[in-house]
Amino acid sequence: MKIRKGDQVKIISGKDKGKSGKVIKAMPGNRMVVVEGLNLVKKHIRPRRAGEKGQAVEVPRPLHASKTMIVCSKCGKPTRIGYITKDGKKYRLCKKCGNEI
């Protein structure tokens, strides 16, 4: 999977289409990512002690990595990712401007 934790991504489909945010968790095993502040759902929490009230909190849920595109830090555009190997290390490249991501 080409998306990693800490990447800036833009949502390209779904209810949050067009919005961007930072990846807070990447799950390459099932190709899902959690984006900060996006794909929020309400989760109802029951009271733990007597006299306490229950709550409805919004939590970010995972979405499939194919619904996101990485935003290049140099050109600032959503882009595809390419790879290059130099000095025995693998680097990610922006397909639009050619700079390292």
SS3 67: helix
Q: Which of 61, 79, 56, 55 is nearest to 7 (CA)?
A: 79
pLDDT value of position 101: 85
The b-or-e profile of 49-87 (16+ CB within 10 A means b, else e) is eeeeeeeeeeebeebebebbbbbbeeeeebbeeeeeeee
Confidence class for position 78, pLDDT limits 50, 70, 90 = very high
The model's pTM: 0.85
d(CA 67, CA 13): 6
| Domains of the chain (ranges, CATH numbers) | 8-94 (2.30.30.30)
d(CA 93, CA 80): 9
**Residues 10-32: tens digit of each pLDDT:** 999 999 999 999 999 999 999 99
